[in-house]
Amino acid sequence: MATSIKVLLFVKLDLKDKYIQIRTINSVGLSQILKLIF
């Protein structure tokens, strides 16, 4: 039981990391596009 909880927590943290990475890439990409336009 304890191991499955650990796995769930790990997956949750991993997804959070990926989500943060995607968000940072998106914001960087947006600023680059804005620089090109303006």
DSSP for residue 13: H
> How many H-runs (helices) and E-runs (strands) does the chain carry?
1, 0
Rg of the chain, C-alpha, whole Å: 17
Coil, helix or strand at residue 35: helix
Q: Please tell me the pTM assigned to this model.
A: 0.54
Domain boundaries, the chain: 1-37
Tell me how far apart the alpha carbons of residues 20 and 14 are, in angstroms, rounded to a whole number.
10
Question: pLDDT digit string (tens) for 1-38?
Answer: 688 889 999 999 999 999 988 898 888 888 888 888 77
